């Protein structure tokens, strides 16, 4: 399982994830409501909607709505038996979904587009976790590369070939009039680990593309990065929730219940960011240490 590499910076990532969703919902300009003892939207006594397995590409605050719904009992309130299963990135999540090993997958936008281009027209997008890309192209702050056009003849580090950032970085490269694998090479160097930092510092790669978690993991090790991201990617749906038509036909009630519970989790996080952070830390304390994991 691909675990979140950023543990010491967890609070910052939670805040960023919540802000991304809040801004998309038009709430970015207002102050969050004060936390209270009443959990929003709890219905109680809901009829059983069935069981559903959610494939998540990483154990990350980007999916805090699902995690809070689990910790706060919203799935139970909505009558859905939800299992959160963490897999190794967006590519693996969509593969497992299409192999009927899960009912819902949270994946990068590019991953959905790739599946559709490959003829998997059974894929259905039923929601979105946050707006704005969760994958970025970046260079060291002291790099002479300040635009995608300057990547010609260079090498970009990626987490892995099936990583959710790959369709994004390939799109950025093509938008600059370059061809991935021809004008710009992609080299897997892992997530935000010490090995990735070393590859960047030693010049094995000239830029790095990964998730927001990967980039923060690199920066907390003392390597500041500069983002290179087209404006259009800051407003597009960044992390769609996908299923297949067969699952939608067979488990519609469970899907509706799960998405309602997840949305309740997001709403709780937006209204009560400090309380949300406390809930997440209590549920998964080892991810809130002063160290970065696996570095």
Residue 137 has pLDDT above 90, yes or no: yes
Report the CATH number that the domain containing residue 181 is assigned in CATH: 3.40.190.10
pLDDT of residue 289: 60
Residue 295 has pLDDT above 50, yes or no: no
Q: Does 4 map to a domain? A: no
Residue 35 has pLDDT above 50, yes or no: no
Q: Report the run of H or E that residue 267 belongs to, with start and end.
A: helix 252-271
Q: Does 127 map to a domain? A: yes
**What does the pLDDT look like over 107-119, one tens digit per residue?**
988 889 889 989 9
**Token pair recorded at residue 169:** 């970085």
**What does the pLDDT look like over 51-106, one tens digit per residue?**
999 999 888 777 899 999 999 999 999 999 999 999 988 889 999 999 999 999 99
**Full DSSP string of 125-190:** EEEES-BS-SEEEEEETT-S--SGGGGTT-EEEES-TT-THHHHHHHHHHHTT--BTTTBEEEE--
What is the spatial distance between Cα 285 and Cα 80, in angstroms, rounded to a whole number? 26
Helix %, strand %, coil % of the chain (to 5): 40, 20, 40
The residue range of the domain holding 85 is 10-132+236-287
Residue 28 has pLDDT above 80, yes or no: no
Residue 201 has pLDDT above 90, yes or no: yes
How much is the pTM? 0.69
Average pLDDT taken over every residue of the chain:
83
> Confidence band (pLDDT; 50, 70, 90) for 238?
confident
Indicate if 125 and 242 belong to the same structural domain.
yes
Q: Does 175 map to a domain? A: yes
Indicate if 107 and 60 belong to the same structural domain.
yes
Q: Is the dihedral of CA 173, 174, 180, 182 positive or negative?
A: negative
Indicate if 245 and 111 belong to the same structural domain.
yes
Q: Could you tell me which residue, 28 or 201, shows the higher pLDDT?
A: 201
Indicate if 185 and 248 belong to the same structural domain.
no
* Structural domain count, the chain: 2
């Amino acid at each position: 399982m691909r675990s979140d590499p950023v543990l010491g910076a967890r609070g910052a990532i939670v805040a960023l994830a919540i802000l991304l969703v809040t801004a998309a919902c038009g709430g970015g300009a207002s102050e969050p409501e004060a936390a209270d003892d009443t959990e929003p939207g709890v219905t109680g006594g809901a009829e059983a909607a069935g069981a559903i397995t959610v494939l998540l590409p990483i154990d990350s605050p980007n999916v805090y709505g699902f995690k809070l719904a689990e910790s706060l009992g919203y799935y139970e309130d909505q009558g859905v038996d939800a299992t959160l299963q963490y897999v190794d990135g967006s590519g693996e999540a969509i593969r497992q979904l299409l192999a009927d090993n899960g009912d819902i997958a949270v994946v990068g936008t590019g991953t959905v587009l790739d599946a559709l281009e490959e003829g998997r027209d059974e894929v259905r997008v039923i929601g979105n976790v946050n707006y704005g890309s969760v994958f970025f192209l970046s260079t060291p702050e002291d790099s002479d590369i300040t635009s995608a056009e300057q990547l010609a003849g260079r090498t970009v580090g990626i987490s892995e070939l099936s990583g959710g950032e790959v369709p994004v970085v390939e799109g950025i490269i093509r938008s600059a009039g370059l061809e991935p694998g021809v004008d710009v090479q992609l080299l897997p160097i892992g997530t935000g680990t010490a090995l990735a930092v070393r590859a960047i510092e030693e010049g094995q790669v000239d830029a790095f593309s990964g998730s927001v978690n990967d980039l923060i993991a690199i920066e907390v090790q003392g390597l500041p990065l500069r983002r290179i991201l087209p404006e259009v990617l800051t407003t597009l749906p960044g992390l769609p929730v996908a299923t297949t038509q067969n699952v939608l036909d067979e488990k519609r009630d469970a899907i509706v219940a799960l998405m309602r519970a997840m949305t309740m989790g997001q709403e709780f996080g937006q209204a009560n960011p400090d309380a949300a952070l406390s809930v997440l830390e209590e549920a998964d304390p080892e991810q809130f240490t002063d160290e970065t994991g696996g570095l």
